[in-house]
Amino acid sequence: MALWNKLKDELNRAGRVAQDAIDEGKLRLDLMRSRQAMDRAAQKLGYGVYRARKAGGAGADIPSDEYARLAAEVANAEAEIERYETLLREAGAKRQSGGTTTPSDTPPTDAPPTEPPPASPPG
């Protein structure tokens, strides 16, 4: 029976390693989506400034309430990116140290996706 116990232990270990890899992949996907959200927010801010200056001349500026809203979107996306980068660093450190536990701050998987990721070449 010792052989079966050893086999069971190895299968459990392999399962934990596979689950950690899946969790890290989810974090990477969430990080990419957060970066896309930040890019969209920064584009909106840039377009708002462009339209305001185009309509009002070189000295014109975007209305302060619109600026505050768009700047908050950028700041929120930036904070989310930092959080995911921190979680990925923690997951990488645990993987390097041989630990197989998942990060405690893993975001819920029931959160709605922001947008499907664009196809990108492997690399």
CATH top-level class of 21-94: mainly alpha
Q: Which pLDDT value is given to residue 11?
A: 92
Q: What is the spatial distance between Cα 37 and Cα 117, in angstroms, rounded to a whole number?
A: 11
- In the chain, where are the structural domains located? 21-94
Q: What is the spatial distance between Cα 31 and Cα 87, in angstroms, rounded to a whole number?
A: 10
Q: What is the pLDDT of residues 7-64, one digit of tens each?
A: 999 999 999 888 888 989 999 999 999 999 999 999 999 998 888 888 877 777 888 8
